[in-house]
Amino acid sequence: DFKDNPEGKCGSSKQLTLLEEAEGGFDQFTRSYKSYGVQRMPDNNLVFKEWAPAAEALFLTGDFNGWDNFSHPYTKKEFGKWELHIPPKEDKTPAVAHNSKLKVVVHTSAGERLFRISPWAKYVTRHEKSVIYDWVHWDPPQPYIHKHPRPQKPRSLRIYESHVGIASPEGKVASYSNFTHNVLPRIKDLGYNCIQLMAIMEHAYYASFGYQVTSFFAASSRCGTPEELKELIDVAHSLGIIVLLDVVHSHASKNTEDGLNRFDGSDSCFFHSGPRGEHSLWDSRLFNYSGWEVLRFLLSNLRWWMEEYRFDGFRFDGVSSMLYHHHGIGSGFSGDYAEYFGLQVDEDSLVYLMLANHILHTLYEDCITIAEDVSGMPTLCCPVQEGGLGFDYRLAMAIPDKWIQILKEFKDEDWNMGNIVFTMTNRRYGEKCIAYAESHDQVLLSGNLHSSKTSLLCLIAGNEFGHPEWLDFPRVGNNESYHYARRQFNLVDTDHLRYWQLYAFDRDMNRTEDKYGWLAASPAYISVKHEGDKVIVFERANVIFIFNFHPTNSYSNYRVAAGPPGKYKIKLDSDGIQYGGHGRLDHNTEFFTEPMEFNNLPNSMLVITFNVHMPTVCFSLSLLIVVENM
């Protein structure tokens, strides 16, 4: 609280002051990717720089020197930093060629000689027969030049969650180019205005879904080159689609030869030493967010993805684990504020997230940040200047849990309307949420319930047409099979199957939202949650939504409340023939309100609502009518 702080400073503002004094401000500090790792100077001199405080000596080896482990020593600088300058060759070309392999040789005080990849490596690859990744110097003679400006931040976010590697019907790792040419047009057609890309930061283990990151500045080489990812994002921008990166700063892979772990031979370096530096459930390392060079590394990493690849923002993974010393392990959250404010809170992580959000939103006005937090931490989405963490949105993670519970534990006739409404609306007033029924955490089920009583919308690629199979990456347990690590987009293009009907409903729902903007409107007024009728009715953005979830009952002359008086027409109807329904509602019908108070609203009208069992999905959505006040 600023009032209770005699200096008028919170932890993040103190850090900003220190950055100003020591580094000349956060702008320069967060551009450290331009000085660390390897940098080519205008005269083709190469400068190599690392931070390895526990190392006794550092050498550079690689293709350029015939893998000589001693010919190119780094010079030790203050604060654990090391530098090496290599002049150009006689023909004035750089001594290290583009696409050639390198290693940092670390000599430890214990007499070990370790071969490491630079933490700042921008490209790493793995030979087919190897399990270890190689650092590859990426300095293409003709780097990709972005042609299109970033789109404006949308008023309503309609997010399409994607994993590039599975975005193909073929049993292989799909490419950035495949996504650009074959998937982006589908996303545009569907009406999504935002893509969340998963598993971009390099990870040695494919089946980790990208959450065991080994090289933080490298885009995954499984799917192609850095230039091909840049093209993907540029083409998305040309289509008016913004792109978010699923960023993993909550932990790091334990890999040593091709990861950050024990880079300088010590147990610490980028991480806490001892038990505090290990996540017992994830079997991974935990960052020391109070470390100056750790802040440099992570904050520069965010800046790198924004500047070099032109991402438009981030979904921060594992925020709950970051916020608490217990990482959420064995701890439940009832909403009692004592659970959020006490010694169990990791203040270093809190300050890091505040710094990250402050810097991103200061440098990039339209940058979007989303927190994956299951704990319900208050102030998560409050501005940093008000003492909050500064995120734009939080994930409404109770909704997918409720969706799976309903499918697994309840018969259609036992769905509880009040409980569904409570789950969908259980959030702090004014706090923006990403609401979704299924994401990569819920891909064991096909189908997708898009509830409009949400702030936003999100799904895993393929759910928009009811993908028939779950997701499983190649691993020892399934004989390294790619059968389930793919998305069968070809099913949508097959006329005699019904997948295109659910695809069409998803598309038209997005387009209708784009027209009326209910996701960005004020909270809905819920006029009906009737357990016997299994009906939910609410009004938002001058649009009335009517859901009939009853497995057998249809209703004629069903009275629903309306705020504004006037004439209403049907704008979206899940019983439409184009969606696999029966087409029982005439969209030319006009519904007129009466000045008859109903459910605490001044007007009401009579409508017809049918029960419908939608094809290709495993639940009775029944009927959605969207009517517009004319």
Q: Where are the beta strands (DSSP E) in 117-232?
A: 124-125, 134-136, 158-163, 194-198, 201-202, 215-219
Residue with tokens 């109770």: 398
Q: Which of 258, 293, 372, 513 is catalytic?
A: 372
| Count of beta carbons in the 10 Å neighbourhood of residue 577 | 11
Sort strands 623-629 and 603-609 into parallel, antiparallel or unpaired.
unpaired
Distance CA 145, CA 149 (A): 11
The token pair that represents 296 in the structure block: 């440099």
CA-CA-CA-CA torsion sign (332, 445, 618, 166): positive
Helix and strand numbers (H, E) in the chain are 11, 29
Question: Are residues 568 and 627 in contact, defined by beta-carbon separation less than 8 angstroms?
Answer: yes
Residue with tokens 């955490």: 441
Write the CB contacts of 6 (distance below 8 Å, at least 6 apart in sequence): none
The verdict on whether 348 is a catalytic residue reads no
Q: How far, in Å, are 3, 343, 421, 504 from residue 187 at the CA level?
A: 48, 45, 29, 12
Q: Residue 606 forms beta bridges with which residues?
A: 559
Write the CB contacts of 437 (distance below 8 Å, at least 6 apart in sequence): 399, 400, 403, 448, 449, 450, 451, 459
Task: With CA atoms as reference, report the closest residue to 540 among 417, 626, 424, 416.
Answer: 626
Question: Are residues 200 and 229 in contact, defined by beta-carbon separation less than 8 angstroms?
Answer: yes
Sort strands 623-629 and 543-548 into parallel, antiparallel or unpaired.
antiparallel
Write the CB contacts of 78 (distance below 8 Å, at least 6 apart in sequence): none
Q: Which of 202, 228, 258, 317 is catalytic?
A: 317
Question: Are residues 340 and 1 in contact, defined by beta-carbon separation less than 8 angstroms?
Answer: no
Whats the size of the chain, residue-wise? 630
The verdict on whether 317 is a catalytic residue reads yes
Distance CA 510, CA 189 (A): 10
Distance CA 300, CA 122 (A): 13
Distance CA 158, CA 169 (A): 24
Distance CA 124, CA 241 (A): 28
Question: Are residues 167 and 178 in contact, defined by beta-carbon separation less than 8 angstroms?
Answer: yes
Terminal Cα-to-Cα distance of the chain (whole angstroms): 48
Question: Are residues 115 and 257 in contact, defined by beta-carbon separation less than 8 angstroms?
Answer: yes
Distance CA 449, CA 459 (A): 10
Task: With CA atoms as reference, report the closest residue to 187 among 503, 615, 498.
Answer: 503
Sort strands 46-51 and 37-40 into parallel, antiparallel or unpaired.
antiparallel
User: Exposed e or buried b for every residue in 20-53, given b needs 16+ CB within 10 A?
Assistant: eeebeebeebbebbeebbbebeeeeebebbbbbe
The token pair that represents 492 in the structure block: 């949508």
Question: Are residues 122 and 226 in contact, defined by beta-carbon separation less than 8 angstroms?
Answer: yes
Distance CA 564, CA 580 (A): 32
The catalytic site residues sit at 317, 372
